């Protein structure tokens, strides 16, 4: 059931007496870590109130396709994109028929046509309606289109009949929903990821920094969230959107980044992808520095060492599994291996930033990962998103081995 953790589920509630079970289903899904948004048909509202499902889900219930407030922002499309799974429970005979014909005459059926997420139905109807040839033909058509059916079960029904057509119980449906997702490589784990450059002030106008764009760190955060992890992303100044389902903390200097990382501890895995400034000006001028003719054409800045974020976190008593990055312009593997030893890391990712096709600000990357035994694993040039997903899978495997 950990597969439901942090998954986004749109629960559609059709117009049948089994709608009362939807309230318990919302609670079960949330108990297992899912986020739930509810969409109700007009018939569904006759059996259970939207207020009940709003209270249980923690979000307003979506009711009408032509809601001016929601549709100003294309609400049904946003819901369709938001969902990891659309689960309709109960799915009545009428609703199955409309879905089989591709009808889009209310919010729920329109959403089903608009989503790329998996769609699952929990049928609920009288045993005779379930057995009717038209319903069975619709069932086969829906299955052929890739829509999943959870149930129905057999037993006594509200009308007094006994037979197939009962909606499955909430816990059964929650388990079936979990089965729609692959086991997350990092489900239940907390990953702390650093990204981007740091900036070290010279005066209120100028600062020292580097060329890091943050793209690799952000791609890693997105891949880790996809793998089921709870992700805290501590980033220096960059112009990148926050990945979905990632907690972002913005910082400026190396000391800011260290403080934010320490506040985010403990974590299970640390991936330090940020390009942290090794030095900072010893004194930050309170006002903008002016040209001084007495100094000739030069300006002398006295620099001091910044704290070593990665070594500091790797030396804690609650030390996580530590993955560093070595961005080098020469002697790539030699310098990376030295950094692995000096900072007491489990893995280090080495990339050649002298190569413009895989260096700072590029869309692609190519890296080598070195472990404590000095074994090298290479990941050939690919998009940073692709490299990130491969790295997250590799790191998850090594973490479990450790």
3-state secondary structure at position 323:
strand
Q: Which of 159, 180, 267, 322 is catalytic?
A: 159
Q: How far apart are CA 191 and CA 234, in angstroms?
A: 11
3-state secondary structure at position 55:
helix
The reply to whether 339 sits in an annotated binding site is yes
The reply to whether 310 sits in an annotated binding site is yes
Asked if 366 and 380 count as a contact pair (C-beta separation under 8 A), the reply is yes
Of 117, 12, 28, which is closest to residue 63 (Cα–Cα)?
12
The reply to whether 307 sits in an annotated binding site is yes
The reply to whether 309 sits in an annotated binding site is yes
The reply to whether 343 sits in an annotated binding site is yes
The reply to whether 308 sits in an annotated binding site is yes
The tokens 């994109």 sit on which residue?
A: 81
Asked if 200 and 208 count as a contact pair (C-beta separation under 8 A), the reply is yes
The reply to whether 364 sits in an annotated binding site is no
Q: How far apart are CA 133 and CA 114, in angstroms?
A: 28
The reply to whether 290 sits in an annotated binding site is no
**Residue 200, phi then psi, degrees to nearest 5:** -120, 115
**Residue 122, phi then psi, degrees to nearest 5:** -115, 90
Active site residue 267: no
Asked if 4 and 27 count as a contact pair (C-beta separation under 8 A), the reply is no
3-state secondary structure at position 287:
coil
Q: How far apart are CA 89 and CA 193, in angstroms?
A: 38
The reply to whether 162 sits in an annotated binding site is no
Let me know if 156 is exposed, middle or buried by CB neighbors in 10 A (0-12, 13-18, 19+).
Answer: exposed
> Parallel, antiparallel, or unpaired for β 269-272 and 230-235?
unpaired
Annotated binding site: 278, 288, 307-310, 325, 339, 343
Bind-site residues for CTP: 278, 288, 307-310, 325, 339, 343
Active site residues: 159
């Amino acid at each position: 059931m950990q597969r439901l953790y942090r998954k986004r589920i749109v629960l559609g509630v059709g117009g049948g007496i089994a709608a009362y079970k939807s309230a318990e289903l919302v609670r079960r899904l949330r108990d297992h870590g899912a986020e739930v948004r509810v969409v109700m048909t007009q018939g569904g509202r006759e059996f259970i109130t939207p207020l009940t499902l709003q209270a249980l889900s923690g979000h307003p219930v979506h009711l009408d396709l032509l809601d001016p407030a929601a549709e100003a922002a294309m609400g049904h499309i946003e819901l369709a994109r938001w969902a990891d799974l659309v689960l309709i429970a109960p799915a009545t005979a009428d609703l199955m028929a409309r879905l089989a014909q591709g009808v889009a005459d209310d919010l729920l059926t329109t959403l089903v046509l608009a989503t790329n997420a998996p769609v699952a139905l929990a049928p609920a109807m009288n045993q005779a309606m379930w057995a009717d040839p038209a319903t069975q033909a619709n069932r086969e058509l829906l299955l052929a289109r890739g829509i999943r059916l959870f149930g129905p079960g057999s037993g006594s029904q509200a009308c007094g009949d006994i037979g197939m057509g009962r909606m499955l119980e909430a816990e059964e449906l929650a388990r079936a929903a979990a089965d729609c997702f692959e086991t997350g490589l990092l489900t239940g784990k907390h990953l702390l990821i650093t990204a981007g450059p740091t900036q070290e002030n010279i005066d209120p106008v100028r600062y020292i920094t580097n060329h890091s764009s943050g793209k690799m760190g952000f791609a890693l955060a997105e891949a880790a969230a996809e793998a089921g992890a709870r992700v805290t992303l501590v980033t220096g100044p960059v112009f990148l959107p926050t990945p979905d389902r990632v907690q972002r903390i913005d910082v400026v200097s190396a000391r800011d980044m260290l403080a934010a990382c320490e506040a985010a501890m403990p974590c299970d895995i640390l991936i330090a992808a940020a390009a942290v400034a090794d030095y900072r000006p010893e004194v930050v001028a309170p006002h903008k520095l002016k040209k001084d003719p007495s100094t000739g054409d030069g300006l002398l800045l006295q620099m001091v060492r910044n704290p070593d974020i990665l070594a500091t976190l790797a030396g804690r008593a609650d030390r996580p599994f530590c993955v560093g990055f070595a961005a080098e312009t020469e002697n790539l593997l030699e310098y990376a291996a030295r950094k692995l030893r000096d900072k007491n890391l489990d893995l280090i990712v080495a990339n050649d930033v002298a190569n413009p096709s895989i260096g700072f600000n590029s869309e692609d990357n190519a890296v080598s990962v070195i472990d404590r035994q000095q074994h090298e694993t290479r990941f050939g040039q690919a998009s940073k998103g692709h490299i990130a997903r491969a790295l997250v899978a590799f790191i998850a495997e090594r973490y479990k081995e450790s």
